[in-house]
Amino acid sequence: MTVRAFGSPVEALQWLGDNAADLIITDYKMPEMNGAEFIRALRRLPHAADAPVIAITVHEERSFRLKALEAGATDFLTSPVDHHEFVTRSRNLLTLRQHQLLLARRAETLARELADSERSRERAIRDSIERLAQVIDTLPVLISAVDREGRTLFVNAFQTDFFGIDPAAVIGRTMREHMGPENAQRDHSLDRLVFSTGKALPAYEEELVSKDGERRSFLTTKTPLHSHAGAIEGVLTSSLDITANKRTEQHLRYLAHHDSLTGLPNRALLFDRLRQAITRARRGDNLFALHLIDLDGFKSINDVRGHSVGDRFLKSISAQLAEVVREKDTLARLGGDEFAILQADVGSSADAAEFAARIGQAIASFQDAELTGARATASIGIAMHPSDGDDAEEILRNADLAMYKAKAEGGNVFCLFASDMQTRARAAATLDTALRHAIDHDEFVLHYQPQVAIGTREIVAVEALLRWNRPGHGLVSPGAFLPYAEENGLIIPINEWVIRAAAEQAKAWQMQGLPAFRVAVNVSPVQFRKRNVPLFIARTLGETGLEPRRLELELTESIVMQDLDEVANDLREINRLGVAIAIDDFGTGYSSLSYVKKLPVQRIKIDQTFVRNMAQDPNDAAIVRAIIMLGHSLSLDVVAEGVETQRQLERLEGDGCDVAQGFFLGHPVPAAEIPRLFAWPTSGARTA
């Protein structure tokens, strides 16, 4: 094989004017003319009119591909070019070119034999046609010819065997019934194009179905057939079977872009998805976030249990993570114990943080009966586009920095990237000091939001909601400091203060003679992991003298799913004290009968995201009805959160919901305002 290279398209065209080439490879972006102009010029040269041409470009836009193909390019590759793909496509085109040249040489031989002797003209024509037909029949290529009406003039043995047809029956008829209507229509349109232009078509790939129903890939070309007078009398179609090459190409592409252990996308494919996400974001799509995940306890599993157990653990963790991601997200393994998730359509950093929390929970709660004792947590770094980087390299690098910061903080946490991590660290230290000061100097206060029985419109409970009366900042909502408090452990003394303060206030209302409504308090997952909640509740009830029936604990689904059996035991102890249990934010997590029926709970609270849109969104309305039916089937009361309109309240009443809570029924207010809601005097305590 001989390869010639040229520094400019003009030099190449000059050489092609006097020489023939079996395969031409050109870049799209060149000096003096672009790839489309170059291809258009060489197609006008006698020696290059039907030579296959591969165009290469770094441009991903579809318009560049169309320009090159319209100019006469045979195939198209995007730079950087995959070596295996390039070799496969080049080999296919060279093979097809070989067959074309073989047919041309046979035709030339026939012409010479005809010119040798006028006396043997008829015999020479007959012999040459027979030999040519024999050669064509032996080629492993689908070969056929049709006239202007689409009637078959010739079909070789390979094609008749492929479609399972009788050669004599198809001559003079169309191939529509054998190729299928869709393929036949396309084939006829391309034949008409050859008749109208008088030029051969560049090779194209197509799929055809054999007589056995097998789909196979072919590389097809169409060339005009001329009469002695030069008129186009037919179109010759030849199709080379490239199924094996396509399968090899697909397998190699899969191996190049996927992790061999887990089958997940690898770093290369993640990088490509990142670039695509950046392109879509620039066109107006939503933000996206990259989560880098490093397993905290994996090294000990490998060291103690061996690499085979470690590999099984990694495969199980990848399956666990696959249940967290959505179809539009990308889960990848970068190597070792490091994974990544490209989260699409992120509204804000809060959305990314919530998703990271679910990732950490999924890993921390993972259990496998065959991997007893093999547990791990995760350090997660988050970078968002465009705030944390304009290109894939920068986003990946910044997510990596955030992940290492999470590692430095002890692991089992997530960390959002900040342009100045030192500034964030100083801010965290300041918040840490301020929270400790708040605990020591009683800066926290509780506000209470009423819960109303829908049927009677009577207040049956209030939910205690934490506020921080931070000096110089005013009242600070819990979302600004509780996530950090959960990371550094301060949530435990804060949560204990909330429970005790709520119990003391409930006892004060009891002494005032207010009706026996409940006070609901949220319990942190961190506090519940310490397994001392029942003891603390018993001590609090004893010290405050509060009737247990006036206290209710609200738990999120993530708490009860950490260790279902242990949590169920704790909840039974709390129930034996006389304290009620409610599942908060029901519907946003697992929301499964399989765990609800195992737990000694008295209420479930429908998350406000479903209530807010139930009047407009039939799906949310259906979810609300289903949760109410689920709760009642288990003899549980159902509380709807986030009720903000009369219409929502009426819909809930129609669906049979028991209790409602939201701004329409009452905003969170200081403790002093609660007696007024009952039209009760605020002083002069009475015994309930």
Q: Which of 100-114, 119-133, 552-566, 594-608 shows the highest mean pLDDT?
A: 594-608
pLDDT at position 504, please? 96
pLDDT at position 62, please? 67
Q: Write b or e for each residue in 596-610: b if 16 or more Cβ atoms lie within 10 A of its Cβ, otherwise e.
A: beebebebbbbbbeb
Secondary element (H or E) of residue 674: helix 674-677
Secondary element (H or E) of residue 333: strand 330-335
Give the up-direction half-sphere exposure of residue 535: CA atoms within 13 A in the CB hemisphere: 5
Secondary element (H or E) of residue 510: helix 491-512
What DSSP string describes 411-475? Answer: SS-EEE--S-HHHHHHHHHHHHHHHHHHHHTT-EEEEEEEEEETTT--EEEEEEEEEEEETTTEE
Residue with tokens 């405050």: 544
Q: Which of 86-90, 250-254, 379-383 shows the highest mean pLDDT?
A: 379-383
Q: Is 12 helix (H, G, I), strand (E, B) or coil?
A: helix
Q: Write b or e for each residue in 366-401: b if 16 or more Cβ atoms lie within 10 A of its Cβ, otherwise e.
A: beeeebeebbbbbbbbbbbbeebbeebeebbebbbb
pLDDT at position 299, please? 75
pTM of the model: 0.44
Cα distance between residue 464 and residue 552, in whole Å = 10
Here the tokens at position 662 are 């939201």
Residue with tokens 């198809």: 170
Here the tokens at position 61 are 């836009």
Bigger pLDDT: 46 vs 122: 46
The mean pLDDT of the chain is 84
**What pLDDT, in 10s, does the model give residues 554-612?**
988 767 665 677 788 888 999 999 999 999 888 765 555 566 777 889 999 998 888 98
Number of DSSP helices (H) and strands (E) in the chain, helices first = 27, 23
Cα distance between residue 154 and residue 126, in whole Å = 16
pLDDT at 531 over 70: no
15-28 average pLDDT score: 88
Secondary element (H or E) of residue 207: strand 201-209
Cα distance between residue 318 and residue 258, in whole Å = 13
Helix 35-42 to helix 62-71 angle, to the nearest 10 degrees? 10
For 213-348, where are the alpha helices, taking DSSP H only? 243-257, 267-282, 298-305, 307-322
Instruction: Please answer whether residues 514 and 550 qualify as being in contact, where contact means their C-beta atoms are separated by less than 8 angstroms.
Output: no
pLDDT at 632 over 60: yes
pLDDT at position 592, please? 57
Q: Determine which of 488-492, 502-506, 558-562, 616-620 has the lowest per-residue pLDDT on average.
A: 558-562
Q: Is 182 helix (H, G, I), strand (E, B) or coil?
A: helix
SS3 content of the chain, % helix, strand, coil (to 5): 50, 20, 30
Neighbours of 44 (CB within 10 A): 11
The percent of residues in the chain predicted with pLDDT above 70, rounded, is 87
pLDDT at 124 over 60: no
pLDDT at 61 over 90: no
Closest by alpha carbon to 494, among 409, 434, 579? Answer: 434
Q: Hey, what long-range contacts does 529-537 have (CB within 8 A, 24 or more apart)?
A: 529/562, 530/492, 531/566, 531/570, 533/570, 533/574, 534/570, 534/573, 534/574, 534/577, 536/496, 536/499, 537/499, 537/574, 537/577, 537/579
Instruction: Please answer whether residues 249 and 83 qualify as being in contact, where contact means their C-beta atoms are separated by less than 8 angstroms.
Output: no
Q: Which amino acid is at 481?
A: F
Cα distance between residue 73 and residue 35, in whole Å = 9
Residue with tokens 């290529």: 141
Q: Is 33 helix (H, G, I), strand (E, B) or coil?
A: coil
Cα distance between residue 161 and residue 90, in whole Å = 28
Bigger pLDDT: 401 vs 181: 401
Secondary element (H or E) of residue 566: helix 564-576
State CA 533 to chain mean position distance: 39
Residue 395: phi and psi, rounded to 5, are -65, -45
Here the tokens at position 30 are 């060149």
Give 302: exposed, middle or buried? Use CB within 10 Å, 0-12, 13-18, 19+.
middle
pLDDT at position 482, please? 85
Which residues are within 8 A (CB) of 181 and not within 5 positions of it... i.e. 6 or more apart? none
Cα distance between residue 241 and residue 466, in whole Å = 71
Q: Write b or e for each residue in 13-23: b if 16 or more Cβ atoms lie within 10 A of its Cβ, otherwise e.
A: beebeeeebeb
Instruction: Please answer whether residues 355 and 288 qualify as being in contact, where contact means their C-beta atoms are separated by less than 8 angstroms.
Output: no
pLDDT at position 605, please? 92
